[in-house]
Chains A and B, each alone.
Chain A
Amino acid sequence: MEFNSNKSIYLQICDAICEQILSGDLTPDARIPSVREYGSEIGVNPNTVMRSYEKLTNDGIIYNRRGIGYFISADAREIVLKEQRMEFIENELPQIIKRMKLLGLDPKEHFV
């Protein structure tokens, strides 16, 4: 995995998993790698991956079956969609509009 943005690594790992849920690569009840497996796959400290899994669990996106592993929740996709739509409207869209203003582009012409 390439870490580029300025977000903390544990949040970038959450994003990568959410991305796979949105794209349909991860479906409800699919098992995701254990903390150590995933850490060694991407070359990241297992404690960092643990933090990501804890956050995703708290958000209801994944669930833990003790001794077996972590799985994608039934309504993971809905939760991720809701979260990311809000994120887009609150943060990404204002950035796009700001950039368009800076470049003298009229949103009406470009958003159909």
Chain B
Amino acid sequence: MIQIKELGFTYGETGGLGSISLSKEKKHMLPAEKYVLRNITMDLEEGRIYGLLGENGVGKTTMLTLLCGLKKPQLGSINIDGHDPYKREPSFLSDQYYLSDEVAPMNMKAIDYARNYGKFWERFDIEKFTEIMQVLETDPEQKMTKMSFGQLKKTYISFALACSTKYLFMDEPTNGLDIPSKAQFRKAVTKYTREDSVILISTHQVRDLENIIDPIIILDRQDILLNATVEEIAEKLYFDYSNEKADDALYSEMIPGGSIKVCLNQSGEESKVNLEALFNTVHQNKELIKGIFNK
């Protein structure tokens, strides 16, 4: 389990690397609005595939890099099964993987990269790697420097899944993937991950990951607007795709063939949760949504 408590992080006055040299006291003196993340408290449980949504610049990537120990929390703490990720203990590192949005082309064949670097992860399985590469239609014998961005991304996705880690953090994994690979990615995420794993995927491409991510976390500047399972969302909000009028809609949008409206769920009937509409609903009704879901 991941326990995040009153987490805060700032890139400092300048917003750049200068923050690293700031002393602890100085950071406390920084005004609240200089923080990207502030007062973030939540638990992430085993056996779940969390979707981390949020507008540009709200700190999704910052959050992922804090969780995998690449950055040090300036306020609050992160506790992953008793480990502080920033201590970067090898036993902990070999059970987690962070797939960054931007991936590096190494000057070697994909298969050689996997053989060499897979050693750092205890459960890395080279056969699983080649199997996923095949599913994603990428040639493991190809040199990574000769690959397109999409092929490179697929190589790293295959590598990430083949590591079979308990903790898997992925930043915009479907960026750059072609249409068939997006479907394959959805299938692979359930097929090749462990049942007890905690997976956190940040994305803007909600359609790529619809039906896969659950619970949904919506991050806002210095705030969590929503952290709920799809079941809880469907209990509390009703997504109406009919052409009938609804005056009490929290959000409505025209779509081909009608409209989609989001209202409070009065009848108890569960509808299909549309993530885009959910995101917009939450953004237009921040306080109301927080009130409903925090009950």
Contact = CB atoms under 8 A, between A and B. Distances in A.
Given A6-B272, A45-B214, A48-B211, 10 more contacts: A6-B240, A7-B271, A8-B270, A8-B272, A8-B273, A36-B190, A45-B49, A45-B212, A47-B47, A47-B214
Nearest to B195: A36
Interface residues of B, number: 26
A35 to B, nearest CB: 9
Contacts of A45: 49, 190, 211-214, 230
A28 interface: no
Contact of A6 (B49, B187, B195, B271): B271
Given A3-B211, A48-B211, A43 B190 contact: yes
A101 to B, nearest CB: 17
B183 A43 contact: yes
Given A3-B211, A6-B239, A48 B190 contact: no
A43 B186 contact: yes
B230 A39 contact: no
B270 A44 contact: no
A51 B235 CA distance: 14
27 contacts: A3-B211, A5-B272, A6-B239, A6-B240, A6-B241, A6-B242, A6-B271, A6-B272, A8-B272, A9-B230, A10-B270, A36-B190, A36-B191, A40-B187, A40-B190, A40-B191, A41-B187, A43-B186, A43-B187, A43-B211, A44-B190, A44-B211, A44-B212, A45-B49, A45-B190, A46-B195, A48-B214
B48 interface: yes
Nearest to B48: A47
Interface string A15-58: 00000000000000000000010011101111110010000000
Interface in B220-277: 229-231, 234, 239-242, 270-273
A11 interface: yes
Contact of A8 (B49, B187, B271): B271
A68 B230 CA distance: 28
B211 A9 contact: yes
Interface in B178-202: 183, 186-188, 190-191, 195
A48 B230 contact: yes
Contacts of A36: 190-191, 195
Interface of A: 3, 5-12, 36, 39-41, 43-48, 51
A36 B191 CA distance: 7
Contacts of B213: 45
Contact of A39 (B190, B229, B241, B271): B190
Nearest to A39: B190
7 pairs of A and B residues whose beta carbons are closest in the complex: A40-B191, A43-B186, A40-B190, A6-B241, A8-B270, A39-B190, A45-B214
A40 B161 CA distance: 14
Contacts of B188: 40
B190 A7 contact: no
A78 B59 CA distance: 53
B30 to A, nearest CB: 39
B47 to A, nearest CB: 7
Contacts of A44: 190, 211-212
B272 A3 contact: yes
A8 B214 CA distance: 13
A2 to B, nearest CB: 11
B220 to A, nearest CB: 24
Contacts of A46: 47, 190, 195
Contacts of A3: 211, 272
A5 B242 CA distance: 11
Contacts of A6: 239-242, 271-272
